[in-house]
A and B are shown apart, each in its own frame.
Chain A
Amino acid sequence: MLIYRPDGGFAQPPAELAPSPTVLAGRRIGILDNRKPNADVLLGQLAERLADRTGATVVRTETKNAATACEDQVLGLLAEEVDVILTGTAD
């Protein structure tokens, strides 16, 4: 028998990831802390190790809350100031 698939189409996502740089040396790494408990620990140590190994510069910033989308103002600043962003959840 023929049945409809239940998912339907999907819209274009509002943003797509930029291509990742192949070399981090000399790049600026942005840490986007979503303020989940331990996110700062995880991301901070990751950034420090990357900086030590590659010589990259690290810039730290944070969002208001992990439950809502990052503010446009924060994203705009990061877009101007860094080449790569590390973010993610924790706890």
Chain B
Amino acid sequence: MKRWLGPALALVAILIVPLVAPPYQTLLMLPFMAYAVILLGLNLLFGYTGLLSFGHALFVGVGAYTGAFLTHRFGVRSLEAILLAAALLGALVAAPVGALCVRYVKIYFGMLTLAFGMVFYTFVLKFYALTGGDEGIPFARPLLLGRDLSAIPKTDYLNGPYYYYCVAVLVLATACMWRIVRSPFGLCLRTIRDNPLKAEALGISVPRYRWCAFVISAVYAALGGALLGPPTGNVDPTLAYWTHSGNLVFMTLLGGFTHFYGPVLGAFVFIYLQDFVMSLVPYWRLIFGGLLALIVIFAPTGLMGLIAPSR
């Protein structure tokens, strides 16, 4: 009963935001929801499998560019088709990248994912004819459930139908991840995080499970990446840059990787805090750097650890 209360209240709050909050604040909810999806996946890898990826912006980029390509180059405007294609491409790219990366652990895994992220970043930056280089490519307004909503003003579209579409995707992604971490598979991931040697002695194939977790997390990142496109209407290489991967890790630590909803909370606080700090001072990264240091030293389990200490 109590376990459901927090998430249920949060969902109700998310649902009524467009009705009560100013349009600008509502617009900020869109990247929050996209990042929440991305981080649910990232934390399957980090919090549950014990692998910290510093290159997940790669998959965010894959998802976002998939949407931009489909809407801008191929005239495919259905968001369902875009999300499906983003998920498939995310998995397709993650399969070989993951197969190489999961052979390594700790800093080596992190560095290898970072390296692949940089390769992808350079690719989208330099292949100007294909990707539009540093200017990126437009992400045309997608159809939602087959409905063409191009007639309504952009803010009304984003804060209305698109907003609730994102809520639906977030709820589905959360429910799906909730099941994954409570499945036999999720238990096996946690054994690998805690003690790979012992896991192998119990017949649990460490590389195979790590690879599965890697691919699932990439699919989540690609889905979230595709959702990031429509609000800005443009996709550019900064989405795939390594500092973006760093932000994802920051959000996860901020919210708390030991708790299922920690990364979701982290995404929320990050987006609004960043906006708030940027409105006050131009050097928001300085403030956030200090904040990160404080979290690591004083609250290693993040904000969620402060609110709801697990066990």
Q: Do the two chains bind?
A: no
Q: A residues near B, CB below 8 A? A: none
